[in-house]
Amino acid sequence: MTALVVHAHPSAASLSRALRDAAIEGLEARGHEVIVHDLYADGFSPAMDAEERLAYDSDNPVVDPQVRTYADALKVVDTVVFVYPTWWWGLPAILKGWFDRVLVPGEALLLERNFGPPRPGLSNIKHVVGITTYGSNRLASRVMPDGGRRLIRRTMHFVGSPRLRTTWLPLYGVEATTAVEREAFIAKVRATTAGL
């Protein structure tokens, strides 16, 4: 079994980084081989440029070798784990850019000639896990849009297996959490990924 962990946080000292490491430990304990896309560490540029935008509609939408590496990893995994902080009701820009640039037609999506709905191109992906922290407490988060969760779940359902399962691991009100609460959440992440 092979899993991909996509991580988006600028700081190695962050809780997000600790969650990423816990997720990897859990997956490896389970016997997964783990591939990591650490977007900040890899210097990933999230903004699709003009050349890529033109190529997007062509037969060769991938022009950047780093995007090629990222897209190839998606073809060999059965599980994708996203670890990121929720900022402004959604994904950090660098992670949105991963969706924009890596999930391309002809690979993630298979377009039909008759303009019908696209078919998934990554039905090898059977499980998606979202691990994220929120500034708002649980009640406040209910009222506001959760663009990250919505985008991840619906997009991965679009490109992945028709029987895709999603697991969501949120931590709310992160700035007000105690060290004990954070440690407990880290342990929960490790146990959940070990139990996938």
Residues lying near other proteins in the complex (CB under 8 A): 9-11, 14, 40, 45-50, 52-54, 87-94, 96-97, 99-100, 103, 115, 117-118, 135-137, 140, 143-145, 147, 150-151, 154-155, 158, 173, 175-176
User: Minimum distance between the CB of residue 79 and other proteins, rounded to whole angstroms?
Assistant: 20
Cα 67 from Cα 70, distance rounded (Å): 5
Q: Between residues 45 and 69, which has the closer beta carbon with respect to other proteins?
A: 45
What is the Cα–Cα distance from 101 to 170, expressed in whole angstroms?
26
Which CB sits closer to other proteins, 136 or 192?
Answer: 136
Cβ nearer to other proteins, comparing 137 with 195: 137
For the record, the structure tokens of 136 come out as 């708002």
Give the nearest distance from C-beta 180 to other proteins in angstroms.
16
Instruction: Give least dist CB 14 to other proteins, A.
Output: 8
CB 99 within 8 A of CB 150: no
Q: For the CB of residue 191, give the shortest distance to other proteins in the complex, in Å.
A: 25
Q: Who's near 138: CB < 8 A, 6+ residues apart? A: 172, 173
User: For residues 27 and 94, which CB has a smaller minimum distance to other proteins in the complex?
Assistant: 94
The answer for residues whose C-beta is within 8 angstroms of residue 111's C-beta and 6 or more apart is 105, 118
Q: State in angstroms the smallest separation of the CB of 93 from other proteins.
A: 3
Supply angle C-alpha 80, 85, 86, rounded to 5: 100
Q: Which residue, among 51, 46, 73, has the nearest Cα to 62 in the 3D structure?
A: 51
- Specify the residue, 106 or 118, whose C-beta has the smaller distance to other proteins: 118
